[in-house]
Structure formats: structure tokens, C-alpha cells
Structure 1
Amino acid sequence: MKIAFSPCPNDTFVFHAWAHGLIPGAPKLDVTYADIDITNTMAANSTGPEVLKISYAALPWVLSEYALLPCGGALGRGCGPLVLTNGGTASAKNPAALSGKRVAVPSERSTAYLLFRLWAAQNVPGGVGEIVIMPFHEIMPAVRDGLIDAGLVIHEARFTYPSYGLDMLVDLGSWWEADTGLPIPLGAIIARRSLDLEAISGWVHASVEYAWAHPEASQEYVMSHAQELSPEVAQAHIDLYVNKFTGNLGEDGYAAVTALLTRAAKEGLVPEFDLALLR
């Protein structure tokens, strides 16, 4: 079975057991490790993998072919994207300073960018200037070096941005939680509707449970894909993004996804879609 997910610690931690043949009855995986912008694009391709990790923001484009699985993804509190500046080209305290500026984002269809657009509509008079799509690990160096005015960052950047001398303009997760009272939906696990979705969900859930029961088993695998992160940062990443919602979205999880995509559709940021397809 073909699957695509990021090389980030939370994904490799979650899928370690399945990828290494440790889940009884689960098919062997053919894994593609790819940045979220790539997996979002793969999901829109008729020849895409059977299972993928994508942004929740990309769901409206693919729900006719793929179903949202109730486990394995990234959704939580205190784990949202950040908008960073270098303190020179844009004020670290004033969102209005982003007006007309160049901002790097990790994907046009990422949850991070969707949240940024919803936030900017309320807080940046006249809107930002140019949006630059950039792999997330290149964004902080580009902000530091003045190649762009601000960067929208995800993943372990929450822990490492001070080492680049950058300032946080806004935590979009905190903004979303204050605005809605709901957790923030980041990454979704999806599978082709033509497959046995109950079985696939069971295998993903079993892989999550194995990861929690045997956290040391995945360490070598996680670090081999962790893009030069320290073990401490990799573990902090896992602790933040692999939580109860990874085991099961539950009613709060589905409410958060529904709220995000309903608001985005109302603003014309994603296509209209049938809410019933989320379950």
C-alpha cells in the first residue's frame, strides 16, 4: 500500500510501527516522505497514494476521492503556526506592519496559510503584499537574511525560531483558540474511498497505540528523518503534536475541522463542500 507523509517527528513516530511491519494483518507500506505542500498536491492527483497526510485546509479539494480518517493526524491546543519577523522589516508587535509586505508560507493549501488569511483579513489593513511559497525548513533562514519580510512557520519552528534571531508576531493557534474555543486542526490522514476505510483506520490506530506503548522503538527511525533536529527538539515536537486527537478526533476534533472549513468556505477561501463527507 502506498502512503505519503512528512519526515517530521510526529509522522514518523505515528507510522513507525506500520512502516516496520509491526501491525498484525496490515499490508506492507511503500512510503514516500514529502513536504506538506507536495502531499497536498499529490492528493489532488488521480494517481496519488492510497493513504496520505495532508493539511486539513486541503480537504475540500479532495473529499470526493478521499475520506478523512478519525486517527493519526495532528490537531490540538498550543500547537498552531507562527508568523515570524526579523524585527527590522516589520514590527514584532504591530500586525499592520505586514501591509504590502512579502510573506513566505509553506503551502497555498496548508492549514497554516488558511489561518493566516483569516487572521490577516481582520488584522492587516489592505492585506499583505506578495505571498511566496517555500519549503517550511527554508522559511526562517529567508526571514533572518531579509529575503522576505515575514514567514509563516509550522512544526518544530515553534521551538527553534529564537536561534535564528527572529520575533514572533502572532501565534495563530492561540488566536484561533481564543476566537473559537476549539483546538486547531493541522494535519489530516486520508485514504481513498474505494478502500476498506475501517481496516485502514484500525491499522493507523494500532500504529499510534504501538508508538505510545513503545516510545523508544521509533527513536532511531524518527531521528534518521528529523532533518538535523536534536533529540530533545524531536521529542518536544512529538509531545506537542501527538496527543489524544491523534488517537481519535472525537467530537471536539470534528467540531474544530467543521468550524475551520465552514468559515473558510464562507470567506471563499476553499470550495464549497458537503459537510457529510467529513465523517
Structure 2
Amino acid sequence: MPSINFWCNNMQSTKMTLAYSPCPNDTYIFSAIASGKVAIPGLEFDIHLHDIEDLNQYALEQRYDISKVSCYTWLRIREHYRLLQTGAAFGHECGPLLLASKPLDIHALGDCRIAFPGALTTAWLLFQLCGLSIGMPFFIPYHEIVPRVASGEFDCGVIIHESRFTYKTAGLHQLIDLGKWWREETGLPVPLGCFVMRRGFSQDQVQAFEELMLCSIAEADRHDIASDEYIRGHAREQDAGILDRHIRLYVNDYSLDLGREGQAAIEALAERAGRMGILT
């Protein structure tokens, strides 16, 4: 791994701030780095875990050297951060879902109270792009959406993360799959989240960290997900089956390399948001 070797041979001891979410796909990717099983000699990480919307806000403030962010937020911070090619949460069957406690006409949401997982999330951007009436938007922590929609506090809500595996137990109904809508519109994977590194680091440093992430994923692949204490210690859902489904859905080929399709998905997101004046 030439970039890692470059770092080892040319860098003095370095400490970088690294931030990601406690969701199983992120802790799966970074479990081996957090435990020290894979490392770059001389490179130390100050690790922070936050909800994705907090990470988005901190990225606007340029708080961390390396961070997970929503792809919507990435479009807003390109001047200060560069996109990494590894660690992304993209896919074809993993988009945000609009849910309600009872069947609703999705073309008549103007008077509905709709809960979203954050004003900087890709879920919020996709909802705006799909052309549905925004109704009355409320931004709350993602894990509160299902119970607060089920209680009747909100008429509907857009869910992300592991909520897609558990919402039926709360008696909720899917109104629209925003990931499916995106694929039908573009033919591309839905670009949910990505990792970014502060501009100012060299290309060798960027590649060295990307290679380290790949080593960490490879190490995670060798072990049973359900027995990983780091993943379980941060997960909201403890069911082994849900943890496995979550990780297998969001840690995929795009996590190893965005590739042309992943890049095209981000470009399509930027183009559509720009056309609607959302990024201005």
C-alpha cells in the first residue's frame, strides 16, 4: 500500500480528528481502527461519534478533520472538504421512506405535519426534489420519528437508518420509497452519506486514509457482526438479524469505491438541487 508507506516514511507523529455516526454501518467500518487492530504508525485518531444531523452541522463549522456527512451537506462544504472514495452509504434499495400511521394520498400532504431527520440530511433534500408538497416540516432526531408518528404527533415522517427494518412493528405504513423514486428518475444509486477530509491534506494522506478504511472493512468482514462489542455498544437496535441486515445493506461495493456510478449520483444530486435553487 504505497500511500500508507508514504505516510509512514514521510510524516512525523500526527493526530487527526475523526467523526462518524453510531449507526452499525459506520461502526462496522471503523471498529478495527477504533480498537487499533489496523493502524498507520505515527497516526493517532481523536474519535467522536454523533448523530448524522449533528455531524452535518459540525461539518459546516469545520470542526473535524475527517467526518461522515450527508451527501446534501457535502454539496454545501465542497470549498472546505474533499470527498473520499471510501466509506460511502449509497445503494439501490436503501433510500429514505415516507411513512404514516394510516394510508394517505401522497399528493395531498399540504396540511400534514411531516417529521424529517434533519434539515441537512439527504432525506430532506430528496423529499424536496421529488415534487411532493412539503406540508409543515419539523426536524427531529431520526430515532424519534417512528414513535412520534405512531403516537399521532405527526401525520407522517421520513425515516432513515435501521428504522426501515422496524417501522412495521409500530403499525406504520409506507407511502413512498424515496430511494426507489430516485432510481426510477436517474437510474443511479441513491447517494445518502459519504466521508470527507478537510482540504489541506495531501493526496498521499487522503489515499493513505482511504486505504486504512479498506483495511478496517476487510478486518470487520472476517468476524461475526453479532459478536462485535463495538458495533453493539453503539447500536440502537440490538437484534442480531437487524444489525446484520443494516450492515449488509449500507456497507457495499460503493463503500469500497464510489466509482463512476457513485460520482454520477452525486453530480445528479447537485444538478437537480441547483436547478431548483436549493443550494443557493
* Alignment TM-score, normalising by the size of structure 2: 0.89
Q: 1:174 aligns with which of 180, 183, 206?
A: 180
Q: What's the counterpart of residue 42 of structure 1?
A: 58
- Could you give the per-residue CA deviations for residues 210-259 of structure 1, whole angstroms, max 9, x where no partner exists? 22233459721111111143111111100100000000001111111111
Residue aligning to 2:116: 105
Q: 1:33 aligns with which of 43, 49, 53?
A: 49
Cα distance change, pair 56–192 in 1 and its aligned pair in 2 (3 A): same
Deviations, residues 3-38 of structure 1 (Å, cap 9, x unaligned):
111111000000111111122316232221111110
Counterpart-to-counterpart distance in 2, 1:45 and 1:137: 24
Query: What per-residue deviation string (whole Å, max 9, x for no partner) do you get for residues 138-193 of structure 1?
Result: 00011000111110000111110001100000010011111111111111100111
Paired residue secondary structure (2:270): helix
Distance apart, 1:209 and its partner CA: 2.2
Greater Cα offset, 68-77 or 208-217: 208-217
Partner amino acid for 1:112? A
Equivalent residue number for residue 127 of structure 2: 116
Instruction: Name the CA shift for 1:95/1:109 in 2 (closer, same or farther; >3 Å).
Output: same
Quote the offset at 1:96 in angstroms: 1.7
**2:276 aligned to which of 259, 267, 275:** 267
Aligned to 1:212: 221
Q: Verify the 8 A CA contact 1:76 1:185 in the aligned structure 2.
A: yes
For 1:6-25, what aligned pairs fall within 5 Å after superposition?
6-25=21-40
Between the two proteins, the alignment pairs up a number of residues equal to 261
TM-score scaled by length of structure 1: 0.90
Instruction: Give ranges in structure 1 of 5+ residues lacking alignment.
Output: 272-279
2:44 & 2:233 partners in 1: Cα distance?
A: 20
Percent of pairs with identical residues: 39
1: CA distance, partners of 2:253 / 2:98: 26
SS in 2 for 1:151: strand
| Residue number in structure 2 paired with 1:80 | 95
CA shift digits 1:77-116 (9 cap, x unpaired)? 10000000000xxx34x21231221111011111111111
**Paired residue secondary structure (1:62):** coil
Aligned residue identity for 2:79: S
Aligned counterpart, 2:7: none
* Residues in 1 aligned to 2:118 and 2:270: alpha-carbon distance in whole angstroms: 16
Deviation per CA, 1:43-79: give whole Å up to 9, x if none: 0114x11110000011122111111000011001100
1:78/1:217 CA distance change after superposition, 3 Å:
closer
